[in-house]
Copies of this chain bind each other. A is one copy, B any other.
Amino acid sequence: MAVTGAQGVSRRRGTRAAETEARKRRLLDAATALAADGGYDAVQMRDVAARAEVALGTLYRHYSSKDQLLLAALAHQAATLRERLDQRPARGETPAERVADVLRRASRALERQPRVMRAMLTAMSAGDDTTASAKLDINTTLRSIISDAVDGERVDNLDDVVKVLGAVWFAELTFWSGGFSDATSMSDSLARAARLLLP
């Protein structure tokens, strides 16, 4: 009687490794769905596991903490964003305009699912050492999005500029997620910063 649920269901579905992948996917989906409803607090590990039809221990086998779980989901979102932006490159004459355009589009995506992103950002800014590499990864993706938008033109100190813009982006996201600043003023700040730093 012990083993019925997931394994029974997926008995004929594929290889063991594929099932494991599917389980991890379900876990990320479940976390995202719960975050969409009630934000960070609503992402409760027992619920995530239940919704993904997976045992709690298995959840912890794949994602060693709640923050790791949410960061993995965030990394997935960031990658998706990057792909979408790759397909429709930024518009604008100058680098500053293009960067502002990209960041504005990104902000628009946030507004659609504010709770989700807030939950993930909460995980992002938790000061846990063990999540450092996940965070670095996400940060790299964000920077690459910016530097793609600058594109073509030669810009002095490009790396530094991108770093500063990445920092501003991150800070604005955190402020927004902390509740004092709406998405509009977030885009505005980013656009202003881009104008200050880029031709």
Partner among B127, B139, B163 whose Cβ is within 8 Å of the Cβ of A40? B127
Interface residues as binary, A119-149 with B (CB distance below 8 Å gives 1, 0 otherwise): 1011001111101110110010000000000
Q: Copy number of this protein in the oligomer?
A: 2
A155 to chain B, nearest CB (A): 11
A129 contact set on B, CB distance < 8 A: 178-179
A186→B125 CA distance, assembly (Å): 17
Within 8 A of B (CB), among A62-108: none
Find out whether the CB atom of A196 lies under 8 angstroms from the CB atom of B197: yes
Please report the total number of A residues contacting B with Cβ < 8 Å.
Answer: 39
A171→B169 CA distance, assembly (Å): 9
A196→B168 CA distance, assembly (Å): 14
Tell me if A16 counts as interface (CB < 8 A to partner B). no
A180 contact set on B, CB distance < 8 A: 132-133, 135-136
Q: Report 5 cross-chain contacts, Cβ distance below 8 Å, ordered by A residue.
A: A122-B127, A125-B174, A127-B177, A164-B192, A167-B167
